[in-house]
Amino acid sequence: MDQQPNRPNKRLSLSTKILIGLALGVLTGLFLGEPAGRLKIAGDIFVGLLQMTVLPYVMVSLIAGLGRLDFHEARRLALRGGLVLAGLWTVALATVAVFPLAFPRQESASFFSTAMIEERPPFDFVGLYIPANPFHAMANTIVPAVVLFSIAVGVALIGMKRKQILIEQLDVLGAVFLRITKFMVRLAPYGVFAIAANAAGTMKTGDVSRLQVFLLTYMLAAALLGLWVLPALITSLTPVTYRDLYAASREAVVTAFATGSLMVVLPMLAQASREILERTGTSSAESGSLVDVLTPTSFNFPHSGKLLALAFVPFVGWFLGNPLAPADYPVVLTAGLASLFGHIFVAIPFLLNLLGLPDDMFQLFLSVDVFVKSFRMLVASVHTLAFTLLTVFAMQGLLRIDWRRIGQRAAATLALFLGVFGGARLLYTFTLGAEYTKDKVIANMELIEAPVPAVVHLEPPPAPPMPSEPKPSRLTLIRDRKRIRVGYFPDHVPYSYLNARGELVGLDVEMAHIFGRETNVTPEFVPVDPDRLAEQLYTGYCDIVMSGVVVTTERAQEMAFTEPYLEVTLAFLVRDSRRDGFNSAEALARQRSPRIGVGNHPYYMAKLRRLLPHAEIVPLATSRDIRRYLESGSDELDAIMMPAEEAAAWSLYYPTFSVAVPKPVLIRVPLAYALDRDAEQMQDLLNTWIQLKRSDQTIQELYDHWILGRKTGEAGPRWSVIRNVLGWVP
């Protein structure tokens, strides 16, 4: 009987196992849905185990690596490493510059966001980079400060006698940390499975549908940059082949992608760099020291993945129907590079404000960052390899310049980018509707809860007869007739307006329905004249005005108010092209004699006089006057002064207009419900009711729905196979 030949035992590589764990995790999350979120703790444990040796490894490798050098080598390293880094930055910024080629034509606007009126804290460069207390920096994972401290110790060690004794000990310690990391990496398939299952099972995709152009284009750009451009630079300028690069680095790159973290794979990237040097026959004690210095040092400079996130800024301009001008791109690229020395979540709001784009778009960046972060880390890991390898070969004098080969790669890269981005643009053009729909969103909004039976008058009805003396209290009258007359301002978005179905809706309309339900009275909505509020309340034409009424000193002398239920911030509604002239105190000071429309009451006019003493004020009596101006397309007014919350709602109807908040001048005004001056019992009841609605989060829920435009109420369970396909759970 013939013996079967011994077949080699083919085992799956770790990178393959990680990808299998990633795929199984996604499938598990989709299958289980929200219950897969219980695996989050397992993913957190895995990431924590990976992170526990990173900072110690960074410290010992930097100190030992720099300590081995002499001062001449250190200067050469700084110069050549800086040139390599500048080259990598140039490639990444060029990718950002061509990113908008993928954008189809689009027109849009956004709901109000608190980010419009918030002052962002300044970038704390000192706290991030200066290790005033190294132990505090270590305990709080302030990596740049830890690195600067380690560099200082390593440079000081260069000129020390008997330094070899310490360096040998640090080498042993570094090997220990690397050994621990290798052991932890073996758990990567299981940790990645838990991370992916949690993300796929709990991720909300509502915002992603709005940002699919940025999301898909970013993924394409990251794949091109991380899997083609940066590897092409390495293989074109060094003896490294694609095969060697892939074989040595795939586990580190896949782990960075799966965990969404660059820091946890720094030891793996250093080891991959050493392995690549060994494969090319260029490994030496000097090259090993350089790797130990360059890999952790690169973490403290903006990497290509971070720079690619700058493409969100031109995306916002396109998304809002106001694309950046060519002259804006040098500002985005240079200021963006400088700001990304800090955190990306500080850089993006800074750039949005610098370019005059709405700050609230940063909230969309946060919502989509969970999707693009893994691709950012993929690019970051390959960037770190490229920086380390190119600098090591430059230090050894082994960089090769083959202009023919470089030209071929550059031409292929340009054609690939144009083809991919141009193809993406065609895809978006045919698959995404170019029609603007945000006006339909606000026009079709409905009350969160089912309304109570109510009467709505679109034209002023006659006032009901008032009882003769002795005159009962207003609260008694309401209880006796079981009906409350609620005054509202017509077309006063987002507080009281008619939706597309002709229904009276809005934040205050919904509050009136809630009050009617809880007091067992029927709301009867009647339109009111803002110039006759006190008279209409006194005569009984209406019992209360619930329609975003601003409390002013003048009004408080004529009528009573409940305690405020909201505060709003005065702003300007301006054409997109004029936003820069009204979005700061400095910009307002440069205005000569602008024509400003403003509501016809003295309070707003007095505030406007303080902000713009030389402005020509044009009274706008009602919301209908505002709508007529916005629809006319006239340049008769330079801006309209109104609360930012209202201005954002108007911009949804008319997306060629934007909200400009003159920071840091923030004028806050309260909103309350207006009553007759003699309605003390009614006032007491409403004050108590407002406190109750604030405590049970009703006001916050309505604010989120009508002003922030968020979906409120109990969201349905996340889609899953076991619920929506198999029906195993309700």
Asked if the structure places residue 634 within a domain, the reply is: yes
pLDDT reported for residue 389? 92
- Predicted confidence at residue 712, as pLDDT, reads 44
Q: Is the domain of 253 the same as that of 352?
A: yes
The reply to whether 411 and 480 lie within a common domain is: no
Neighbours of 235 (CB within 10 A): 17
pLDDT at residue 324 greater than cutoff 60: yes
Q: What is the mean pLDDT of residues 8-19?
A: 69
Q: Is 8 within the bounds of a domain?
A: no
Ranges 273-282, 358-367, 380-389, 613-622: which has the least confidence: 358-367
State whether 416 and 469 are in the same domain: no
Measured between alpha carbons, how far is 422 from 664 in angstroms, rounded to an integer?
A: 42
Enumerate the H helices of 355-402 as residue ranges.
361-395
Residues 382 and 336 reside in one and the same domain:
yes
How do residues 656-700 score in pLDDT, each as one tens digit? 888 888 887 788 899 999 999 989 999 999 999 999 999 999 999
In a domain, 2, yes or no: no
What are φ and ψ of residue 601, in 5° steps?
-145, 150
- Regarding whether 397 and 494 lie in a shared domain, the answer is no
* pLDDT on residue 713: 41
- Domain end, chosen from 389, 416, 431, is at 431
- Determine, yes or no, domain membership for 137: no
pLDDT tens track for 100-150: 888 876 655 667 666 566 665 555 667 767 778 888 888 877 767 787 888
Backbone region of residue 522 per phi and psi (left: phi > 0; alpha: psi in -120 to 50; beta: other values): beta
Verify that 697 and 620 share a domain, yes or no: yes
Whether the predicted pLDDT of 714 surpasses 70: no
Decide if 1 is inside a domain.
Answer: no
Which candidate, 122, 145, 144, places its Cα nearest to that of 135?
Answer: 145
Give the mean pLDDT of 27-53: 84
Whether residue 151 sits in one domain with residue 85: yes
Mean pLDDT within 389-408 = 84
pLDDT tens by residue, 185-209: 788 888 888 888 887 777 655 445 5
Structure pTM?
0.65
Helix residue ranges per DSSP H, 205-343: 206-210, 212-224, 230-237, 242-259, 266-279, 285-298, 304-308, 312-319, 328-339
Shared domain for 451 and 549, answered yes or no, is yes
Domain assignment present for residue 5? The answer is: no
Residues 337 and 459 reside in one and the same domain = no
CATH number of the domain residue 425 falls in:
1.10.3860.10
Are 333 and 412 contained in the same domain? Answer: yes
Identify whether 506 is part of a domain.
yes
**Last residue within a domain, chosen from 431, 452, 484:** 431
Identify the CA nearest to 203 among candidates 42, 45, 370: 370
pLDDT at 108: 59
Structure tokens at 417: 């980018």
Structure tokens at 194: 């838990």
Residues 315 and 350 in one domain: yes
Does residue 321 belong to any structural domain of this protein?
A: yes
Per the structure, how many domains does the chain have?
Answer: 2
The residue range of the domain holding 394 is: 14-105+143-431
Find out whether the peptide bond into 594 is cis, omega within 30 degrees of 0. Answer: no
For the stretch 580-589, pLDDT in tens is: 788 888 888 8
Of 431, 447, 471, the last residue of a domain is: 431
**537 and 423 belong to one structural domain:** no
Top pLDDT among 165 and 50 is at 165
CATH number at residue 594: 3.40.190.10
What pLDDT score does 527 carry?
96
Residue 418 has what pLDDT? 84
Mean model confidence pLDDT for the chain: 83
